[in-house]
Every structure is written in C-alpha cells, then in structure tokens.
Amino acid sequence: MTDDLRPNEQAIDAGPASDAALRFIGTIHTPWTRREDCPRQGRMDGPECRIVIAPAWRAALDGLEEYDCIEVLYWLDRSRRDLVRQSPRSDGKTVGTFALRSPVRPNPIGTSMVRLLRIEEGTLHVRGLDCLDGTPLIDIKPDRCDFTPKAPPKPGDGQTQTED
Ligand code: SAM
C-alpha cells in the first residue's frame, strides 16, 4: 500500500501539517505492522490489543474499570493528509473525504468502540481495534450509552426541538 494518488483522486496543497495542539497520552500495540493487514474496522471479537498509558496519565484511568465498552481515539500517524476526494476502490470513482472513514484525512483521528478486558498497571487490554502497532493514543472515554454524567444536570440536557 502506498501514498500514491489513485485515478481521479484529488489532493490539495494544504501546507505543512502540525500536530502542535495534541498531546499523545500513550501507545497502542496491535498485531498489525502493515496497513494492508489491518482490518478496516475493528471488531469486538478481534485480536487482543494493548493500550499502554503514559505514566503521567495513569491516574486518569481511575473508574474506567467499571465499563465493558470504551471509546478509543488515536492518531493515524502514517496517513497522508491532503486528499479532498478519494477513490476507495481504486476504480476512478471518487467520494469526498468527509463521506468516508478512511485514515486519510486532514486530521487523521481514528475512533473505535472496544471491549475492555482488563486494566493492569497502566495497560488496557482490549478487543476491537484496527490500527497499526505503535499508533499514538489521543483519548479514552466511556461508552456514551453506558455513561451517566457524574456532574449535575444542565438545562440543555433535556432540550428538544424548539418551536419558531
Ligand atoms: N476505526 C477508525 C475510524 O473509523 O475512525 C479507523 C478506521 S481506518 C479505515 C482503519 C485503517 O487505517 C486500517 O485498516 C489501516 O489501513 C489504516 N491505519 C491503521 N493505523 C494507521 C496508522 N497508524 N497510520 C495510518 N493508517 C493507519
């Protein structure tokens, strides 16, 4: 798999990319070292993977063990970032980048819902990932369906469509 353009794909001159505003908080370890071997989307019965949290952020895991499913956000660090139209099937038919879950995007953030198997000394053991070994970790959140906000309710929480 290369970063070459496929027929009718369109890149722009987006200037040099900067990751300045993010901090990576750990590293994801998976069985996959080549993009072509990675699944397109992870599955909850996929191989066990490890998410190693940087020591400074391990206290942030407190309470996460209550959840069976968690959302993982990661930085698809080996992606090109300048395509506005892509040809997923390499057949010359293109679709806009924002209509795809392709790793090729201006800010290559990947997300997966994963099954949390256990947490051991700052390492999360999970199933459901689809990223390369060594992918940087951006964030972890509890599954929003299982999560009940810990903070007091706010007026907007129950807001529905307003009448004009
Ligand atoms: N589940 C995420 C999402 O929907 O946001 C990512 C989906 S993306 C289609 C998964 C693909 O990204 C993999 O099959 C692999 O080809 C590619 N990929 C995985 N890790 C990557 C990395 N660190 N850098 C660049 N590409 C990566």
Q: Evaluate whether residue 114 is within a structural domain.
A: yes
Residue 19 has a pLDDT of: 60
**Tell me, what's the pLDDT at 164?**
62
Range of the domain at 102: 21-140
8 is a domain residue:
no
**Burial of 30 per CB tally in 10 Å (0-12, 13-18, 19+):** buried
Q: Which domain CATH number covers 90?
A: 2.40.30.70
How far is the centre of ligand 1, averaged over its atoms, from the C-alpha of 155 (Å)?
A: 38
Ligand 1 atom 27 nearest Cα: 76
pLDDT of residue 119: 98
| Residue 116 located in a structural domain | yes
Q: How high is the mean pLDDT in each 10-residue block of the chain (164 residues)?
A: 85 76 94 97 97 96 96 97 96 97 96 97 98 98 83 86 72
CA 111 to each of CA 60, 83, 91, 101, 140: distance values in angstroms, whole numbers, following the listed order: 19, 19, 27, 9, 10
Count of structural domains, the chain? 1
Residue 129 Cα to ligand 1 middle (Å): 9
